[in-house]
Structure 1
Amino acid sequence: MTAGAPTPASMSPPTPLAVTGIGLVTPAGIGADDTWKGVCAGRPAAAADPELAGLPVTISCRVPGFDARTQAGGAQPWRHDRFTHFALTAAREAVRDAGLDPASRDWPAARVALVLGSAAGGVGTYERQHRKLLAGGHRSVSPLTLPAFLPNMAAGQLAIDLGVHGPALHTATACASGAAALTTAAMLLETGACDIAIAGGSDAMITPLCATAFARAGALSRRLDDPATASRPFDATRDGFVLAEGAGVLVLERGADATARRAPTRALLTGHGSATDAHHPVAPSPDGRGLRAALRQALRHADAAPADVAHINAHGTGTPLNDRTEATVLHDLFATAAPSVTSVKGVLGHTMGAAGAIEAALTVLTVQHQLAPPTANFHTPEADTAVLDVVAPTARSQRIDLALSVSCGFGGHNTALAFTPAPCPLGAPPAGPPPATHPGPHPDPAP
């Protein structure tokens, strides 16, 4: 077999997995419904951030009105970092949405897996406790520092909260962490290691150190005088992303199991792919080799061809280098299909390790509602991105039989997920905002 050729196992399409529940905590709102409405409305969440005052960049996309005591609930929420609060809130919503009850006698605790991704874990706790150490000495540091900031602790706390006794894992592939968690969960289901997988990502990296580090790296937008227009994926005038926070969690089950318990399935996860650039710590490979490979793997696992793809939820950070490379890859692979392309980071900003899971959940909703959200602040395409059918300025009603969600991360990590509509007997009825009047490339609506 030639180098780089797929193995026989990777050529076999896996059994489609049912997405039976989603939970979201994002700058567009707390809960899947509020997030979906905000993203479809194209309302950018970026605003001036008083907690970043005096730093090189003073804008961010924060989750609005989040109160850990009421949203995350439970005893002593001060024991957890903000990224754990987000994860708890999103996971509980996802489990409820799936019609599951961890307190029930029917909860198969030993056959439930939990996989959560995060780029930085409890970095907010780490920074606060480090400042206390410098200012007040070792006795001022909380004894709860480690269980609050260790990256795996959100997964650990979720396992405790939901009574999960199957595998509980943490993935860390920078901004692809949430997508990597979903891929890992899919593989656990495909190999029979579990029957239910709760998977996603969470991050709360709007901190002084993280904001400064990204600014020093030249990754953040400097449109400080007009935050709402700062995040502009694929636009010719883009100058960086806006730092954001949030969480996204999905419940995955084998299709047959979801059917057996009459679960209201939102969509099917039919393929996934992961590949690495092995090129540069923070810059994508100029030829997009890792992203191309991940997309091809996802299509192969979905038993689909590029021409079958109707919509792509792009990584689309709004940085000059990422968007140019990603646009080139998407055009090369999908030129004949001309799928619609959306980056929700124009609305949400960049939620870091949570982005892949949040965007996967939004892709599920896109497939379920047959409605592609808009890319906020996209006005002027450049030569490299003009070849893409970017959805703007409003949401687009179109037929979507196959959609891809794309995630990339520092270190050269690339992940792609493929979603298709759920069969009619399993599908939950659409309940999203009314479709826009934009005809799109596929004017015939889905049945």
Structure 2
Amino acid sequence: MLIGVFSLLLFISQPDVLNNIRYKNEEIIFDGIVDEWENLPEFYFADTLSSFNTIPEINLYKTYPNGFSFDQLKKPLSRNKVIVKAFWNLKYLNLVFKVFDEHLFAQAESTPDKPRLHLNDGIEIYIDSKNDDGLKMNTNDYQFIVDLKNRTQVFRGDRRYILADTVAVPKDYDQNVLFKSNVKYFGSINNATDKDSLYVVEVSIPFAAIGVEPHEGISMRIDFCCNDIDYPQDQGVFVEYASTIMWSFDWGGYSDFGYPKYWKRVGFTGSPDFLERLTERYKAYWIWIYLFTIGFTIITISFLLIKVRRAQKIPFKSETENSKIVFIPFQDQGKNHLSHNQVLLQKATKFISENKNKPLHSELVAGAIGISLRQFQRLTREELNSTPTNFIYLVKLKLAEEFLASRKGNITEAAYEFGFTDLSHFSRLFKNHFGLSPSDYLKQNSNKQ
């Protein structure tokens, strides 16, 4: 009793008109749980018909070959109520239907030449994608059926039937239109002895499949319909019998569907932000953009590493001008017309030469010539394409070369004379700069003498 009162209050509190469908940057999780639909407006429509209600232009009862009378018609054992929520994103029109139905039946089977899913409990969705308001369906109009067992069928207005003008609803099935759906029911199917609760239908219809480019401000005519059967179907005289126990209704209060003029116009509100549109529009290219970015990054990093290594590697003798690492007496500097940078290098060379046997570092030399470390780095990069540390080594190596060439001492003495505490380090730097190890240099120099 309390459940019945609650359900009544629930439906009384819901609006029965859907004027707009909001934008929401989400996709449906097809699980029968409607958590992602929270914070969206919901509306309802319910079966309140006392008899079949057809549109004025079409007499449904004349379409039956053997005639039709209300005496044949069985009214439903329970009246269905439907709650609907909807939202759109850049790819899909998303819908969820919560159908309260105490008798769940889905006995009709569809075959390629006999589409019968509409004879089961289920939902139908009609869409006039171009909003052209005709009485009869045309090629812009679609019908989507989802029955209780999540079997689907798509109809579309057919040009042949439209031109023939011999049928009330000129449509055809087996359309090449794919859409997503899921059904979760609460109760048992095709059991006339129990009382069921409800079923939930989730649907995502691709805009691309119906020729619509979604954006804020567009509108379409839409019809939501509920097919209800509360009795077991006699399989022997299936179609004829089903017509007496079917009880269908839409949100416009009609029992017969497929007439766009009587569908309701619904607008689209809200819109994606710029980043969402950009992402969706170029989604197919993201993998290429990603690969290009990765490749470009790798190439850039490799180039920078090579450049750094070259800068860190001590320059070869042929790459270094003597005037930039050999001290020129002050009285001769004016004759050589030295630039400002070369004058600074001369000051640094003089300081290093005077402190040749001491461990020197870049900050110390920069301070001695009155510039910052950053200025010293820029100076050596511009003049020698190297680093301040390498510049210090270059000056000392030049002095060491002269020391060895003049036979003032051996290799070990030369290393310690110019502040190298590691003989192997001195030998490696010497070879990298002069192209010969210190011992080979001595041999070559000895042969020349």
Regarding TM over 0.5, the answer is: no
- Give the alignment's TM-score, normalised by structure 1: 0.23
Larger radius of gyration: 2
Larger relative contact order (C-alpha < 8 A, sep ≥ 6)? 1
